Amino acid sequence: MTIPVFPETVDSLWVDGRLATMTGPTRYGTVENGALAVVGGRIAWIGSQAGLPADAASRAGSIHHLENAWVTPGLIDCHTHLVYAGSRCAEFEMRLGGATYAQIARAGGGIMRTVTAVRAADEDALYRQSARRLKAMLAEGVTAVEIKSGYGLDTRNELKMLRVMRRLDHNFPTAVMPTFLGAHALPPEYSGRPEAYIDLVIDEMIPAVAAAGLATAVDAFCERIAFSPAQTERIFGAARARGLAVKLHAEQLSDSKGALLAARFNALSADHLEYLGDDGAAAMAEAGTVAVLLPGAFYFLGETRKPPVGLLRGHKVAMALATDCNPGTSPTTSPLLMMNMACVNFGLTPAEALAGFTVNAARALGMQNRWGTLAVGKQADFAVWDVDEPAELAYRMGGNPCRMTVIGGTVACA
Q: In 30-111, which ranges are E strands?
A: 30-39, 42-48, 60-65, 70-73, 75-77
Query: Does 323 contact ligand NIG by CB under 6 A?
Result: no
As to burial, measured by CB atoms within 10 angstroms (0-12 exposed, 13-18 middle, 19+ buried), residue 410 is middle
Query: Does 296 contact ligand NIG by CB under 6 A?
Result: no
Could you say which residues in the range 96-135 bind ligand NIG, by CB under 6 A?
A: 110-111, 114
Q: Find the part of the chain contacting Fe ion (CB under 5 A) among 173-181, 280-288, 318-326, 392-400.
A: 318-326
Could you say which residues in the range 15-54 bind ligand NIG, by CB under 6 A?
A: none
Shorter beta-carbon distance to ligand NIG: residue 252 or 289: 252
Sign of the four-CA dihedral 41, 365, 240, 221: negative
Scanning 266-349, the segments in alpha helix (DSSP H) are: 278-287, 295-300, 309-314, 335-346
Q: What is the largest CA-CA distance in the chain?
A: 72
Q: Which residues contact 6 (CB under 8 A, 6 or more apart)?
A: 37, 45, 52, 53, 56, 59
Question: Please, what is the minimum distance in Å from the beta carbon of residue 148 to Fe ion?
Answer: 7
Residue 140 near which of ligand NIG, Fe ion, none (CB within 5-8 Å, type-dependent) = none
Shorter beta-carbon distance to ligand NIG: residue 17 or 328: 328
Burial 170-198, CB ≥16 within 10 A → b, else e: eebbbbbbbbbbbbbbbbeebeeeeeebb
DSSP 3: P
CA–CA separation, 91 vs 303, rounded Å?
A: 16
Query: Does 252 contact ligand NIG by CB under 6 A?
Result: yes
Judged by CB under 6 A, the residue of 17, 258, 328, 409 near ligand NIG is 328
Question: Please, what is the minimum distance in Å from the beta carbon of residue 227 to Fe ion?
Answer: 14
Shorter beta-carbon distance to Fe ion: residue 280 or 409: 280
Interface with Fe ion (CB under 5 A), residue total 1
CA–CA separation, 268 vs 177, rounded Å?
A: 13
Scanning 55-183, the segments in alpha helix (DSSP H) are: 89-96, 101-106, 111-120, 123-139, 155-171
Question: Please, what is the minimum distance in Å from the beta carbon of residue 249 to Fe ion?
Answer: 5
Shorter beta-carbon distance to ligand NIG: residue 19 or 220: 220
Query: Does 324 contact ligand NIG by CB under 6 A?
Result: yes
How many alpha carbons fall within 13 Å on the CB side of residue 181?
Answer: 29
Q: Which residues are bridge partners to 379 per DSSP?
A: 42
Residue 329 near which of Fe ion, ligand NIG, none (CB within 5-8 Å, type-dependent) = ligand NIG
Shorter beta-carbon distance to ligand NIG: residue 163 or 249: 249
Report the 10 Å Cβ neighbour count for 379: 24
Judged by CB under 5 A, the residue of 146, 158, 274, 324 near Fe ion is 324
Shorter beta-carbon distance to ligand NIG: residue 325 or 404: 325
- Local structure of 150: helix, strand or coil: coil
Residue 111 near which of ligand NIG, Fe ion, none (CB within 5-8 Å, type-dependent) = ligand NIG
Q: Find the part of the chain contacting ligand NIG (CB under 6 A) among 188-196, 211-219, 321-329, 392-400.
A: 321-329
Q: Which residues of this chain interact with ligand NIG, rule CB under 6 A?
A: 81, 110-111, 114, 221, 249, 252, 297, 324, 326-329
Q: Which residues of this chain interact with Fe ion, rule CB under 5 A?
A: 324
